[in-house]
Structure 1
Amino acid sequence: MINMAHQEDAKERFYRNFRMQQANIQEQITHLPSIAPVAGERQDATEVILTNISRLTNDVRDATHFLPAYDHRVYTDAVNTLRKELDETTAKLAPKSRFQFRPRPPAAVDGHDAPKSDSRRLVNSRDGTKGEKTNGQPPISPPLSPGGGGSRGRSRSPRAIKVEGERDAVITLPADHSRTSSAGQLIDLSSCVVNLCSPTAEASRAAPFASLMLKGVEKSVVVAGHVDGPVHVTGLKRCVVVVTARQVRIHDCEEVDFYLWVRSEPIIEGCKGVRFAPLPEGMETGAEGENKWKEVKDFLWLKEGQSPNWGVLGEGERVKGEVWRGVMGDEGGDVKAVLGRFGIA
């Protein structure tokens, strides 16, 4: 009887604490649109909400020993609802992309159309203006050049870059967009090779992304360049990701290799088979401080000892420098051939 009374008290205390934290997080999400995005204030508030949701997730998991299975599912669903509401709110607040994709026009070969290229570029589609057209089609952005050349028109500073819904494509940013954006988003990509380094490689010419979100990407290689603030990675499967960032948070990923330079410990949650390595040779950005790429914190593994959900990518298993140089220099290659060199079928 005493034990049963103790369990009832524990469930009641947990219920009150959960409802209090749930209400607090809900209020923070509701208040998020009213926070100005300048100076990273809104991003910092988002980070606080993510931390609170992760803490609540841990509390629910730790309560498994005294909560009935049904109650545990109810609490888990409530936490997932909070996370979904935060994702929907941040998506609505994200600046609208001022870019659109245009495929490279195929060249004629012996009177026949050449095979279509999978290479895609981002071109500026400035809202409210009418660009020049050729044969009724929007103009194609100028090709990349080793020296960072491009169109010599008026300089432009887009607010955000968003890549969504692409399949079997090689995606690069044209060199004339050297001043990138406050935010980057890669969403729902499959079998793609993405290189965002061109505009962010030279600090004297370009500002890095303030933040970056990767969501729902599978069987792809993403060379994300330099991010001043946080990188949020959700729902990636069988990918390779390279990035320099202040903070990296990784959720619900499987079989992903991360090559990182990160100022704070990478955080994972709900992941399986993720591996970590330092930046590939030749991609160092000169960032100051200690690279904490292997000081990974697994929010769903609080026991002593190594988490089984992540590991260090051995030196013999890391992709070699010549493969990376091919990705960085060959924007028009066969996407399947490129992915094959990374072991992504």
Structure 2
Amino acid sequence: MDVPVESGAAKMQERLQKRNQARIDSVERRNEDKESWTVSEEKSEYFSRNFQSEQASIEELLSGCCGAERTIVTQHLEEATTRTTQLQKFLNDSVLFLTQYELRKAQAALQKLQASLEESREEFLPKKKFAFRARAKAADKVQTQAEPAPPVPETVSTEVDGAAVVPEQCGFSNKSNDFITKTAEEIQKQDVLLTHLTNCKVRLFGSPSTLHLKHIDGCEILCGPVASSVFIDHCKNSTLAFPCQQLRTHNTTDTQVYLHVTSRAIIEDCHGVAFAPFTWSYPTLEEDFAVSGLNRERNNWSQVDDFNWLAAGKPSPNWSVIPDEDRRNNWDT
């Protein structure tokens, strides 16, 4: 049976239209891909330019601490801390369009910057503690005239060749199977160091300036609001609870962290770390929050960046959220 000429022509015309539309669609897709790549490249250049500029500005602030008066040093360190936190957020917001090389490079630079910040804080600020210890020692001498002096706590200065030697940080070290505490008066916004503790329960009341935990095994450590950063290194099988501005955790395994943090927590070389909101409470907690300057309403406890995990869109296997039913709400004091 013969096919009508008009019908055959119509089908031919339809096929030509489909091919033409396919070519148009292909061209549009290529143009979109090219445009997307161009936008991504522009974003990358924008990030690199601004990240390096801000990094240099923060390094200049830290350099300005050398030889400066304590007031100036404090201002520089506070500004450097705030800007470093903002730089971390800028990096977090840019992860989606950065290459793995760019991301690793920026993370390494930020890590170095944060280390420099802490080194500057420890180098230029602890000197003020000598005056505090001198006043405390003078007060103790007056007290001994009226009544026997209480036992000397571990953080009070010791005597070497007749001269007072004040530790750079208060805290505890080399203890096992012990229940130990620090009061707000003992801490007085100092840097607190806990190191080489095994199977201990620790309660830190008040507001430390920074908190350093090193070589912790099987411990339960609860701390009041930390004004700046908490640094954890080589911790295992432990339970920790504290509010802070920044958290950096290294070489830590099988540890629960009850956290209030105003920036984003960072882990590196860790696994089996679990997070939940901070739940410890004690009578002067709200006063200590005010002393620390932390934002009570801002808690990014579940916003964790793993420097060993760069797979975009996939959660890191090295940390998790503690299920509601497994979280602790009651603590021994």
The bucket for the TM-score relative to the shorter chain is 0.5 to 0.7
Structure 2 CA distance for aligned equivalents of residues 29 and 163 of structure 1:
27
In 1, Cα distance between equivalents of 2:167 and 2:194: 17
- 1:30 aligned partner: 63
Amino acid corresponding to residue 192 of structure 2 in structure 1:
Q
Q: 2:104 & 2:61 partners in 1: Cα distance?
A: 24
Residue 181 in 1 paired to residue 179 in 2? no
User: How many pairs are equivalent?
Assistant: 261
5+ unaligned residues in a row in structure 1: which ranges? 100-119, 133-157, 201-207, 326-345
Q: Deviations over 1:164-198 (max 9, x none)?
A: 763646373578x944423132254342525344x
Match of 2:247 among 247, 250, 264: 250
1:45 partnered with 2:79: yes
For 1:287-302, list aligned pairs within 5 A.
Answer: 287=286, 295-296=300-301, 298=303, 300=305
List runs of 5+ in structure 2 lacking aligned partners.
1-29, 134-151, 290-294, 307-311
The corresponding residue for 2:276 is: 276
> Does the 8 Å CA contact 1:265/1:293 hold for their aligned counterparts?
yes
1:64 to 95, 98, 103: 98
State how 1:319-330 maps to structure 2 within 5 Å: 321=331, 324-325=332-333
Equivalent position of 2:230 in the other structure: 232
Q: Tell me which amino acid in the other structure corresponds to 1:22.
A: Q
Q: Which residue of 2 aligns with 1:311?
A: 321
| Larger helix share, 1 or 2 | 2
- The answer to whether the Cα contact below 8 Å between 1:37 and 1:43 also exists between their aligned partners in 2 is no
- Other structure's SS at 2:216 match: coil
TM-superposed CA distance for 1:51, in Å, is 0.6
SS at match of 1:124: coil
Determine the structure 1 residue equivalent to 2:120: 89
Q: Partners of 2:219 and 2:69 in 1: how far apart?
A: 34
Q: In 2, Cα distance between the equivalents of 1:14 and 1:38?
A: 30
- Partner Cα separation in structure 1 for residue 106 and residue 326 of structure 2: 43
Distance (Å, rounded) in 1 between the aligned partners of 2:73 and 2:47: 37
Give me the CA root mean square deviation: 4.9
| Corresponding residue for residue 214 of structure 1 | 212
Shift of 1:320: 5.7
The residue number in structure 2 matching 1:78 is 109
Relative distance call for 1:52 and 1:127 in structure 2 (3 A) is farther
Greater Cα radius of gyration, structure 1 or 2 = 2
**What secondary structure sits across from 1:189 in the alignment?**
strand
Does the 8 Å CA contact 2:211/2:231 hold for their aligned counterparts? yes
Change (3 A) 1:283 1:73: closer
Inter-CA distance 172–184: structure 2 relative to 1 (3 Å threshold): farther
Identical amino acids, percent of aligned pairs: 12
The residue that corresponds to 2:88 in the other structure is: 54
- Structure 1 residues 211 and 236, CA gap change in structure 2 (3 angstroms): farther
Q: 1:235 is paired with a residue of what secondary structure?
A: strand
Give the CA deviation at 1:85. 1.8
* Alpha carbons 1:25, 1:53 under 8 Å: kept: no
SS at match of 1:27: helix
Q: 1:305 to 1:169 in 2, by over 3 A?
A: same
1:138-153 matches, within 5 Å, as: none
Structure-2 change in CA distance of 1:42 and 1:88 (3 Å): same
Superposition TM-score, scaled by structure 2 size: 0.56
Structure ranking higher on relative contact order (CA contacts 8 Å, 6+ apart): 1
Provide the rounded CA distance (Å) in 2 between the counterparts of 1:165 and 1:56: 37
SS of equivalent residue, structure 1 residue 287: helix
TM-score w.r.t. the length of structure 1 is 0.55
